[in-house]
Amino acid sequence: MSSGLGPDGLNNDAIAEIFAELAVAAGVVVMDIYGTDSHVHAKPDQSPVCDADIAAEKIILAGLAARLPHLPVVAEEAAASGAKLPEADMFILVDPLDGTREFLAHNGEFTVNLGLIIAGEPKAGVVYAPALQQIWIAGSHAYAVTVAPGAALPARDQRRLIHTREAPADGLVALASRSHADPQTEAYLARLPIKARQPAGSSLKFCRIAEAAADVYPRFGPTMEWDTAAGDAVLRAAGGLVFDDTGGPLRYGKFARNYRNGPFVAWGDRHASAQAKAGVKSA
């Protein structure tokens, strides 16, 4: 898998490393706010936003401006505030606190997400769960490693290379959103040989599949590209895929739709996904 070249001659692995450093730095302010009154309020779409979303995004945007100044950035809270969204072939998607509901529920299942998009595909990404002190890093390959908020990233030889698994013969482990259940998801899963279901929050669902702990994650409810890009990058680098309701890979840079995704399914075993693709449109 090619690592590609980004701005200033940086390859996707080098960009992922920058993403990881910024996510771990943002994790400090996220955890500082975690045990306090987070001053939550509703955005125009009625989704929650709190102090941690805003503070983490400020840190990440400043870091990206300093280290990757030539790349346009689409960030969740800036978009919600009415910032002009760029239309570019190569750009960065930022979700400073994915799983705000999980953050407010104090269950630890929230993440800091950064993803690099090139020609509609996620080519590098980082998912950091500061409360769990776990980070998943994807460029040419996908890795997982333990790192505390604000700490230095462990050397690459100390990171665990991760890969998806073959679909188990005795049935699949399905992941479902902890906060967003819907009838279409239930109908879709009913068509598959599911032996167990596990709830999970935020982009952790992509990472669980990437590290061979689960097999499938369908999502029919609304999401934005910044919700999925980082986890999608990790999963694809680990050998999995995310497909949309056309049966093709989930695409990014949907400027005309304000970066809104349609239905998708994250899948670990590429060779066993044909049956899964067939049900997306009809679910």
pLDDT digits (tens, 9 = 90+) for 203-246: 999 999 999 999 999 999 889 999 999 999 999 999 999 999 88
pLDDT: which is higher, 278 or 169? 169
The secondary element (H helix, E strand) that includes residue 55 is: helix 51-67
Q: Which residues lie closer than 8 Å to 257 by C-beta, 6 or more apart?
A: none
Separation of CA 20 from chain center? 13
- Of the candidates 161, 195, 211, which is a domain's last residue? 161
Same domain, 151 and 176: no
High-pLDDT (> 90) share of the chain, %: 68
Q: 199 - beta bridge partners?
A: 176
What pLDDT, on a 0 to 100 scale, did the predictor assign at position 203?
95
Same domain, 112 and 43: yes
Count CB neighbours of 9 within 10 A. Answer: 7
pLDDT in tens, 57-115: 999 999 999 999 999 999 998 888 788 888 899 999 999 999 888 888 889 999 999 99
What pLDDT, on a 0 to 100 scale, did the predictor assign at position 236?
98
| Separation of alpha carbons 279 and 283, rounded Å | 6
pLDDT at 154 over 90: yes
What pLDDT, on a 0 to 100 scale, did the predictor assign at position 1?
37
What pLDDT, on a 0 to 100 scale, did the predictor assign at position 2?
41
Q: Which residues lie closer than 8 Å to 61 by C-beta, 6 or more apart?
A: 73, 75, 78, 94
Q: What is the CATH number of the domain that holds 209?
A: 3.40.190.80
Identify the domain containing residue 217 by its residue range: 172-278
Q: Which amino acid is at 121?
A: E
CA distances from 160 to 59, 76, 163, 215, 234 (A): 27, 30, 10, 19, 13
What pLDDT, on a 0 to 100 scale, did the predictor assign at position 42?
55
- Of the candidates 161, 182, 201, which is a domain's last residue? 161
Strand, coil or helix: what is 47?
Answer: coil
pLDDT at 45 over 80: no
